[in-house]
Amino acid sequence: MSVAALEITPNYYLVVGALLFTIGAVGLLLRRNVLVMFMCVELMLNAANLTFVTFSRALNDIGGQVIVFFTLVVAAAEVAVGLAIIVAIFRRRRGATADDVHLLRG
Amino acid sequence: MTVEAVIFFVAAALALGGAAGVVLARNPVHCALLLVVTLVAVAIFFLLQEAQLVAAVQIIVYAGAIVVLFLFVIMLLGVDREESLKDPIPYQRPAAVALGAILLGEIFVLAGRTWATGATSTRGSVRGPVDGQDLGNIQRVARVLFTDFLWAFELTAALLVIAVVGSVVLARRSGQRAQLDEREQAVEEQITQAELSEAAENGSYLGDGERPSETPRVTS
């Protein structure tokens, strides 16, 4: 394929989506700050959204874009509740790393 | 290269660079700002793929509301300091990177062979006339959202109300609950003190450097 006539097929978007999802998953495993772990979850949700929209165009089906809306709503609700939990934990433990939440550890 | 290709590669570099920055930046505020870069780049992808409404909502809801909420909590809690790089669990980082590589390989293998069947549904089209009319992106989304997905749409209203009530209940403290918290806090304080002395011995505490010697009580 010559560079001049490079056509962006849906596969390009899917590869970017897969890479974004993987970076988010690795970040979730690597980081100890709960807030940053949350941001990594957002990255993974965005990768899924990108995949939905890509298939929406590739298959000429608007359903993919509608699903992205529901994902956005769930992400917003998740962030609201999650940040409230972090604030509640932080009030007691004065720390926001995952290591601070180990009361149930045996 | 076509215009779409140029925009695609610039947006892809921004998206992946921002995502890597979220994982690698040590300051949570920098993580949040790099997350905005990734979100805007994904919005550009949406625009490239004829999803204008979703792109606008992505910018408004994600960059405008969710990231601001993140920054607000970071500032409220005062955790905008750098994270220690010391690894309390040995081999966790190499294991995490290895698991990520396995995940990526799995996605590519499964997407190539099994999952992406190319089947299509009949919800509505992204392009072309609908019932003889040429509709815009917002109209197409709205038609499907308020017919086929009406029940799910109404459930999201319930979900949002439950999330709001839940956040308020989690974040407030008063009356009996506060008394209960006092007792729990006393237990927590003992644990924290034990932890602190233990950490002082190993010098490996991961949290904030300026931790007060006594947990401040929140009176209500």
Contacts of B2 in chain A (CB under 8 A): 5-8
Reading the block at residue A35, the tokens are 């807030």
Give CB contacts under 8 A, 24+ apart, made by B99-104.
B99/A25, B99/A26, B99/A29, B100/A22, B100/A23, B100/A25, B100/A26, B100/A29, B101/A22, B103/A21, B103/A22, B103/A25, B104/A18, B104/A19, B104/A22
CB-CB under 8 Å, A53 with B22: no
Q: ipTM score here?
A: 0.89
The phi and psi torsions of B130 (rounded to 5 degrees) equal -115, 120
Handedness of CA A94, A95, A96, A100 (dihedral sign): negative
pLDDT of chain B along its 220 residues, tens only?
788 899 999 999 999 999 999 999 888 899 999 999 999 999 999 999 989 999 999 999 988 889 999 999 888 887 766 666 666 677 888 888 999 999 999 888 887 776 555 666 667 777 777 777 778 888 888 888 999 899 999 999 999 999 999 999 988 865 555 566 667 777 777 777 777 777 666 655 454 444 444 445 554 4
* Closest partner CB to A66 (pick from B69, B145, B188): B145
Low-confidence ranges of chain A (pLDDT < 50): none
Pick from A34, A42, A45, A62 the residue to mutate for testing the B interface (most B CBs within 10 Å). A62
Cα–Cα separations (whole angstroms), residue B197 to A17, A54, A81, B79, B87: 45, 53, 33, 22, 19
Cα–Cα separations (whole angstroms), residue B16 to B10, B20, B39, B218: 10, 6, 10, 42
What pLDDT is stored for residue B180 in this prediction? 62
Contacts of A30 in chain B (CB under 8 A): 23, 92-93, 96-97
Q: Which residue has the tokens 């610039």?
A: B10
Contacts of B46 in chain A (CB under 8 A): 50, 53
Cα–Cα separations (whole angstroms), residue B70 to A23, A42, A49, A102: 19, 11, 20, 23
